[in-house]
Structure 1
Amino acid sequence: MEGGGRRVVAVGAGLAGLGAAQRLRGHGSLRLLEAAARAGGRVCTRPFASGLAEMGAHWIHGPSPGNPVFCLASRYGLLGPEAALEENQQVEAGGHPPMPSVTYGSSGKVLNPKAVREARDLFYALLASTRAFQGSKEPPWPSVGQYVRAEIARTVPTMAGGQEDARRLQLAVLAACLKLECCISGTHSMDLVALEPFGEYVSLPGLDCTFPGGYSSLAERLHSDLPEGTVLLNKAVRTIQWQGSFREEGDDARVFPVRVECEDGDAFLADHVIITVPLGFLKEHYEKFFQPPLPERKAQAIRNLGFGTNNKIFLEFEQPFWDPEQQLLEVVWEDESPLEEPSTDLEASWFKKLIGFVVLQPPEQHGHVLCGFIAGKESEHMETLSDAEVLSAMTRVLRTMTGNPSLPAPRSVLRSRWHSAPYTLGSYSYVAVGSSGDDIDVLAQPLPEDPRDPRPLQLLFAGEATHRTFYSTTHGALLSGWREAERLNQLFQVPVPAPQS
């Protein structure tokens, strides 16, 4: 067997683990251990209403030739015809896809589109200006949130021609923009997101698109391409012992440096283990998960980086109350301002963190379904409520916004609960205040650290949180899996297998 019959174990069968397995095929023996009952990790499609709901990853962000998820999905024939259009691949959306939208205010009226647009343009200009601080030794503020708020405070007196009502409306829209940015960054507050490295994140060109057959169709295809028995489901790992000398019963000749012990008592000996578990899981368990403990530099990187929650609430309606061309219903609480402290009473006001609803398209496939997005502590509080409580809160919000007290309640609700998912403990990573892109690189470094170690690459690290410019994305996760497979291929001196169509 090529690769000297080396044994590789990957922990986690999300896109990073599946991607690593895809590139490692054909040498050594490979096992993918997945704690859940399905492969895919934070890619998770469920049936809802008459269509599908993406509980995790939703869009291909930047579907263009530089995006490996887009390229794989195209090759597998998993995308709709519009995704292949040349002009759609060239759109520079900057991570904020332009959608036909309507903005409702808490006074029960649709807000003036011109005023909304002006406030939003200001916000995006401020976000774009954060790139100037990349590599700066002394950024003016530690966080994106503090910088943006200081700039708003400086600009606001001259905004809206000095009219108080118009100024208040612009501040309310800016507060809503910050909430949306929390969803995009997967954080409770932009005050937690570091300013200096914020510009390192790279947005790819292309108009975000979805999978007609669900995002899970990609994970399923990657899974089914692997040899039978490669992926073991319901195999939660308890500890990874490395730097050891482990032998199998009845075979004293082979010594393995790593032993992976599962919760069910099974153990797997390996030469190399690729760890692709989410950063949220590592934060909670890294001290007990590795024996001996990780080097302090690696542990510090795990502690430094941010990992937050962004959840979705899907609502199905008998009939739409929105216009057919509307794709995004935004929600603005007109008494809010980014210059005032938000309420910390989660019980009373958690639903105000909701940024609004995306209309699932096309209705012929999905039925009349809205998908709400909510991040942070409020999102985590939502996970503790019953379906009936969430449905009731959403109905109140929609009746308030539309000014229609008899708007029919949704007929059903489905929501994600990523914070309470035991093997994820949140949604995705961000570069937190006190950390930098260097922490991402440290997290991605294989162990042992000494390049002269006779048993190299015992532990390799992949997953979205290990990709310096594409963290928080599926393409970052996939590329990180390929990166670690490539490391092993080079060690084994194995030619890269030709891509399977």
Structure 2
Amino acid sequence: MDKSGGKDGPSLSNHLVVVVGGGIAGLGAAQRLCRHPGFRNLRLLEATDRCGGRIRSQPAFGGVIEIGAHWIHGPSKNNPVFQLALEYGLLGEKEMSEENQLIEVGGHPGLPSLSLSSSGKSVNLKLVEDMSNLFYTLLDQTREFLHVAETPVPSVGEYLKKEISRHMFDWTEDEATKQLKLSVLKTFFNLECCVSGSHSMDLVALGSFGEYATLPGLDCTFSEGYDGLTNCMMTSLPKNVILFNKPVKTIHWNNSYKHENFPGETFPVLLECEEGEKFPAHHVIVTIPLGVLKEQMEILFNPPLPSRKAEVINSMGFGTNNKIFLEFEEPFWEVDCQQIQVVWEDASPFVDFEDELKDIWFKKLIGFLVLPPLESTYVLCGFIAGLESEFMETLSDEEVLSSLTQVLRRVTGNPQLPGPRSVLRSRWHSAPYTRGSYSYVAVGSSGEDIDTLAQPLPTDSSSPQLQILFAGEATHRTYYSTTHGALLSGWREADRLISLYDLECQQKFKP
């Protein structure tokens, strides 16, 4: 057997594999490959100075907060992130309990402990619960359109509004109460925008919405930070595998490239980094977020991506969901309060605000999660999605703090309420190597498009196979937008390469 990597191609133990991106998909792929004897020449190029990607825990307020991924969604036996966290001993007894793993929440957030309106009054929680039941009953109905030939309307938002209009005929309350119901429903629309990562539910395709799969289990968090998981994955890799601060400028592929470190050998792929350093490869696993692919695919790939894959990248949805953390010296909420909803009484699912973003951006804020008390400080975590969220990123900390102080004084009815003493927030849209938060199936795209995005290149059999493979949450058809979807996609592409290796082994050693 030729082990020199000459004219017959790379030797079986000498496949040069480069993983682009050190998020959980890239780490998962690298970890899987490193455990296989056929892949000893592996590099992971990370554009920044840290691994984790959209998993980003940060020391703050005397504890740890999650700038990115917050929960393990569906922590149960079929969730690979949950299983990996168990393997590394990163979860507490409650999170590991069998009782928690069996709870079915259907992917829907829990009810708020407190609902505050823009008139400074508390909203009756029974009314909030009724509107929640209506909203999520209708949302669950959208799954019925998964396999129909033609949907009644293109988007989830249009379907929900159409059905709400029908239900309104049965409302018998006074006009003020009917308007309050619509305002509460608008908050649930905004909440679902955060869940979906979209600016509006009118942008989310109805036909494919039911393809997204949820797992059983009560969503749980990492008490020491989500990045404990990615740090464990990172430290399990050989020391020379990860190279930081290596943003890839161009992936040259489907050619014969030479490299001074490998005289006499040619490679189908050559990666060129921003600072000019070049890495040859037989296979590249690209785990770059969809937002960056949208922005950079024309310069990132040479030759360009096939037109169908480029169309899919352009048509798929990728939005922004940001967090705003507010630190208080004293809480204005009760000890057992876990979630505060904010309701704007002039809002309705049927009417979009037409004011300039600078005047109304904060109205997209759905409310606040009450974080567990930290060292003599109290923290609320607000969530905001869409164009308003992206606009928020352009403001200074002082402007955000001032706006939200006024919002809190207004909804609590207390003009003297002490404002937060500090603010900290995510800026996922401005981040050059993410350009948003996560993917969704947009109107004009479908689940088949996700599979097209995940398809390796080249697609013809005459060229060296599996030159470029694609992973990341946007490439998982049923678990897109999740960390477990991202991890599974990394494993999928690693297994694809392992299968190729095993096939080569069989062919080389045939008697």
* Pairwise same-fold verdict (TM > 0.5): yes
Paired AA for residue 136 in structure 1 = V
Number of the residue aligned with 1:485: 494
Q: Deviations over 1:248-276 (max 9, x none)?
A: 22644311000000001100000000000
Aligned to 1:24: 33
Q: 1:118 matched to which residue of 2? A: 130
**Letter in structure 2 aligned against 1:442:** T
**Quick one: distance in 1 between partners of 2:313 and 2:463?**
27
Is the 2:254–2:463 Cα contact (8 Å) retained in structure 1?
no
**What amino acid is the match of 1:327?**
Q
State the alpha-carbon separation in 2 of the partners of residues 37 and 360 from structure 1: 28
1:218 alignment partner, SS class = helix
Q: Which amino acid aligns with 1:231?
A: I
- The ranges of structure 1 where at least 4 consecutive aligned residues each deviate by more than 3 angstroms after the TM superposition are 1-4, 364-367
Pair 1:458 & 2:458 matched: no
Q: 2:94 aligns with which of 49, 60, 82?
A: 82
Give the deviation of 1:341 after TM superposition. Answer: 2.4
Query: Are 1:279 and 2:297 counterparts?
Result: no
Cα distance change on mapping 1:225 and 1:432 into 2, 3 Å: same
Do the aligned residues in 2 keep the contact of 1:313 with 1:372 (CA within 8 Å)? yes
Give the structure-1-normalised TM-score.
0.96
Calculate the aligned-residue CA RMSD, in Å: 1.5
Question: Which runs of 5 or more residues in structure 1 are unaligned?
Answer: 496-501
Post-superposition Cα deviations, 1:36-78, rounded to whole Å, max 9, x if no partner, equal 1100000001111111111110000111111000000011011
Number of the residue aligned with 1:394: 404
Residue type at the aligned position of 1:178: F
Q: Which amino acid aligns with 1:266?
A: E
Matches within 5 A, 1:279-428: 279-361=290-372, 363-364=373-374, 367-428=377-438
Structure 1 residue 157 displacement after superposition? 2.4
Equivalent residue for 2:509? Answer: none
Against the structure 1 CA distance between its residues 365 and 196, is the aligned structure 2 distance closer, same or farther, given a 3 Å change threshold? farther
CA distance in 2, matches of 1:494, 1:80: 42
In the alignment, which residue of structure 1 is the partner of 2:507? none
| Bigger mean CA offset, 164-173 vs 383-392 | 164-173
| TM-score under structure 2 length normalisation | 0.94
Question: In the alignment, does 2:248 pair up with 1:224?
Answer: no
Describe the SS at the equivalent of 1:377: helix
1:499 — aligned with what?
A: none
In 2, distance between residues paired with 1:207 and 1:89?
A: 6
**Deviation by residue 1:186-212 (Cα, 9 ceiling, x = unmatched):** 011001000000000001111100001
328-337 vs 92-101, which moves further: 92-101
The structure 2 residue matched to 1:432, chosen from 439, 442, 455, is: 442
Task: Verify the 8 A CA contact 2:90 2:229 in the aligned structure 1.
Answer: yes
Q: Cα distance, 1:366 vs. partner?
A: 8.5
Matched, 1:475 2:484: yes
Alpha carbons 1:153, 1:339 under 8 Å: kept: no
Once residues 307 and 427 of structure 2 are traced to their aligned partners in structure 1, the CA distance between those partners, rounded to angstroms, is 31
> Where in structure 2 are the equivalents of 1:133-144 lying within 5 Å?
133-144=145-156
Q: 1:116 aligns to what SS in structure 2?
A: helix
Q: What is the alpha-carbon distance in structure 1 between the residues aligned to residue 110 and residue 87 of structure 2?
A: 27
**Alpha-carbon contact 1:97-1:207 (below 8 Å) kept:** no
CA contact (8 A) 1:17 1:32 kept: yes
Q: CA deviation at 1:367?
A: 3.5
Q: Indicate if the aligned counterparts of 2:111 and 2:129 stay in contact, CA closer than 8 A.
A: no
When structure 1 is superposed on structure 2, of 241-250 and 144-153 the one drifting more is 241-250
- Equivalent in 141, 150, 164 of residue 152 of structure 1: 164
Question: 1:498 matched to which residue of 2?
Answer: none
Give the aligned residue type for 2:370: V
Percent of residue pairs identical: 59
Q: Note the alpha carbon deviations across 1:105-146, whole angstroms, 9 max, x for none.
A: 111111111111111110001100001111222101100011
CA contact (8 A) 2:190 2:366 kept: yes
SS at 2:445 equivalent: coil
5+ residue gaps in structure 2? Answer: 4-10, 505-511
Match of 1:448 among 434, 458, 462: 458
1:63-212 mapped onto 2 (5 Å cutoff) = 63-98=75-110, 101-159=113-171, 161-212=172-223
The count of corresponding residues between Structure 1 and Structure 2 is 492
Asked if 1:6 is matched to 2:15, the reply is: yes
Task: State how far apart, in whole Å, the 2-side matches of 1:81 and 1:37 are.
Answer: 33
Q: Distance in 1 between matches of 2:407 and 2:109?
A: 25
